[in-house]
Structure 1
Amino acid sequence: MFNPSREQVRQFFTEAWRKHRSAGVLTPLETMAVDLIELHPEYHADLESPEAATADFSVEQGRTNPFLHLSMHLAINEQLSIDQPPGIKAAFQSLLATHDPHEAAHVIMEALGEVVWEAQRLGAPLDTEKYIDLIRRHAGRR
C-alpha cells in the first residue's frame, strides 16, 4: 500500500503542475492530477508557490488545503474506477442526474470527509455503509 508523506504528496502535485506548464511529459497519474488541477484554478497560485509546499492550511485561516482536496479527488476517482467500496459507482451515477461530474465528486468528498473524521474520532474503521448512504441521501435531495 502506498502511503506518501505530506511532503511527497505536495511535491507530486507541484511537480505535475510544473511539468504540465512547461509542456513536459507526464505520467498517467500526473495527467490525472493535472486534469483535476485544471478544474481548480483557485489552487494554481499555491501550486506555483514554494511557500505553499510547506504551508499549513488550518481551518482557522479559512482556506482549503489544495493538496488535501486534490488528493481526495484522486482517491475518489480510484474508488469509482474499481467500485470500492461496493456501490459507490452506482451512488455516483445517481448524483449525475442532478450534478455535473465535478460537483458530484465534491458531494462524495463531503461524505468521505465525514466518515474519515468520525472513524478517527472514534478510533474505529471507516464505516463504508454510512459513506455510501450519505452519498445516496444527497442524490435523493434535489
Structure 2
Amino acid sequence: MFTPSSHDVRRFFCEVFRKNAAKEILTPLEAMALDWVLEHPEYADALADVDSALTRDYSVEGGQANPFLHLSMHLSISEQVSIDSPRGIRAAYEALARKLDSPHEAQHEIMECLGEMIWKSQRSGLPPDGEAYIDAIKRRAS
C-alpha cells in the first residue's frame, strides 16, 4: 500500500495544476484530481507555486483551510464512490447529492463524516468503522 507524505500529496496536486495549464496528458488519477482542482479556483495560487506549497503551514491556529487536505478528501471520496468501498457509499452519496441538488456539496457533507470516522478511530485506537461512516452519510441524506 502506498502511503504518500504530505509533500508527495502537495507535489501531486501542484503537478496536476501545472500539467493542466500546459495542456499535458493526465493519468486517470490526475484527471480525477483535476476535476476537484477546477471546482476550487480559490486554490489556484497555492497550487501554482510548488516551493511555497511544500513549506506552507496550514495549522488550525493559522485559520486558513489546507487546500491540499481538502482536495485529498475530495479525491478519496471520489475513489470510494467509484469502487463502492466501503460498500454502500455510492448509493448513500447519490442520495445525498440528490437531496442537496449538488454532488459537490454532498462531498463536503461526506467529508465531515469521513473526518469524524477518522477522529474516532484515532481516539479509540480501533480500525475505522466503515458501517458507521455509511450510516452517518445516510442520515444526512434522509
TM-score, length basis structure 1: 0.93
Match of 1:128 in 2: 130
Match of 2:39 in 1: 39
Which ranges in structure 1 are unaligned for 5 or more consecutive residues?
none
Q: Deviations over 1:41-96 (max 9, x none)?
A: 11111111221222121111111111111111111111111111111111112112
Q: Deviations over 1:81-118 (max 9, x none)?
A: 11111111111121122221111111111100011011
Which ranges in structure 2 are unaligned for 5 or more consecutive residues?
none
Return the alpha-carbon distance in structure 1 between the equivalents of residues 109 and 54 of structure 2.
27
TM-score, length basis structure 2: 0.93
2:97 pairs with 1:74? no
Return the alpha-carbon distance in structure 2 between the equivalents of residues 91 and 29 of structure 1.
23
Return the alpha-carbon distance in structure 2 between the equivalents of residues 30 and 93 of structure 1.
23
Identity %, equivalent residues? 55
Return the alpha-carbon distance in structure 1 between the equivalents of residues 69 and 97 of structure 2.
24
Aligned partner letter, 2:36:
L
Q: How does 1:92-131 map to 2 (within 5 A)?
A: 92-99=93-100, 100-131=102-133
What stretches of structure 1 move > 6 A for 4+ residues in a row?
none
Shift of 1:16: 1.0
State the aligned residue count: 140
Give the structure with the higher percent helix: 2
Match of 1:84 in 2: 85
Return the alpha-carbon distance in structure 2 between the equivalents of residues 138 and 62 of structure 1.
27
